[in-house]
Amino acid sequence: MKWYHIILYYLISSSAPLVAGDYQSIADQIKPNTITIIGETHKHPESITLFQSLISNHLKKNKCLTVGLEIASNQQSIIDKIKQGRAVVSDIEIPPMIDHPAFRKMIESLVKLQKTNECLKLIAIDAGDDVDLRRDEWMAIKLSEQVGKTPILVLLGNLHSLKRIDWDLSMTKDSPSVAEILSSQGYSIKSYPQIWTDKTCDDQNRFIKTDEAESLSLLNNHYISMLNAFEYKASEGVVDGILLWECKT
């Protein structure tokens, strides 16, 4: 085993546990010409651990990966400078609603991985103040630019991950998410939002398929109830599965 393979193995294995069990259904969808979106409620460290696990699982197969993060694209130069040793993670400007220690620690780990693995690409895809477009429109553009042989894995807020929202246009304007925009353009999108039954329940989770009745009630109760939109009649075509975080019983 070459020295850089040894370093890569150490960095990957020490950053997060490997994906197992139900997560394999997500890992299997990280494919070429596909954008896999992991939705989250921000500032949950367990979401970061899950996301890192998916990255680790993929890289250990000696496969390339592009990782997209909800950071303004004008911060890409800072990320690149960190890789070159000319900046530090604290230099990155991240919106307060997204920023938390686990998120920055993950970025630091990913940049370290980049130094030993040219097959890993890290991109900032969000719209900053310098962009005169809706955030979802800009993120769709940045992600579409990356589609190709290398799979794309993205961590976004949950509402960005819904491939369809049936807005009540008598009360609001149509505001398609990045997942919906890309899906309507014909791109292969796999979307897996995470839902927490309780903000303090972060010690176990399970994968819920779209053909399970529970997935529909979770989508309607946790998302549609907060929006000026009509309830879903089915989960298919909206997401490709849900990760539900629960307290141990």
Question: In the predicted model, what is the mean pLDDT of the chain?
Answer: 90
What backbone phi and psi angles, to 5 degrees, belong to 207? -90, 130
Task: Check residue 249 and give its pLDDT.
Answer: 67
Between the alpha carbon of residue 135 and those of residues 63, 154, 157, the distances in Å are 30, 15, 12
Over residues 180-211, the pLDDT tens digits come to 999 999 999 999 999 998 877 777 889 999 99
Task: Check residue 22 and give its pLDDT.
Answer: 62
Over residues 78-121, the pLDDT tens digits come to 999 999 999 999 999 999 999 999 999 999 999 999 988 889 99
Angle of helix 101-116 versus helix 3-15 axis, rounded to 10: 170
Arithmetic mean of pLDDT, 6-11? 43
Over residues 152-169, the pLDDT tens digits come to 999 999 999 999 999 999
Over residues 209-246, the pLDDT tens digits come to 999 999 999 999 999 988 999 999 999 999 999 999 98
Residue 62 has pLDDT above 90, yes or no: no
Task: Check residue 106 and give its pLDDT.
Answer: 98
Task: Check residue 95 and give its pLDDT.
Answer: 95
Residue 132 has pLDDT above 90, yes or no: yes
pTM exceeds 0.75 for this model:
yes
Task: Check residue 199 and give its pLDDT.
Answer: 76
Task: Check residue 205 and give its pLDDT.
Answer: 86
| Nearest in space to 154 (alpha carbons), one of 207, 191, 186 | 191
Task: Check residue 6 and give its pLDDT.
Answer: 41
CA 194 – CA 244 distance, rounded (Å): 6
CA terminus-to-terminus distance, the chain: 44
Arithmetic mean of pLDDT, 139-162? 98
Residue 66 has pLDDT above 70, yes or no: yes
Q: What residues make up the domain containing 181?
A: 3-246
CA 171 – CA 208 distance, rounded (Å): 31
What CATH number does residue 53 fall under?
3.40.50
Task: Check residue 19 and give its pLDDT.
Answer: 39
The total number of structural domains in the chain stands at 1
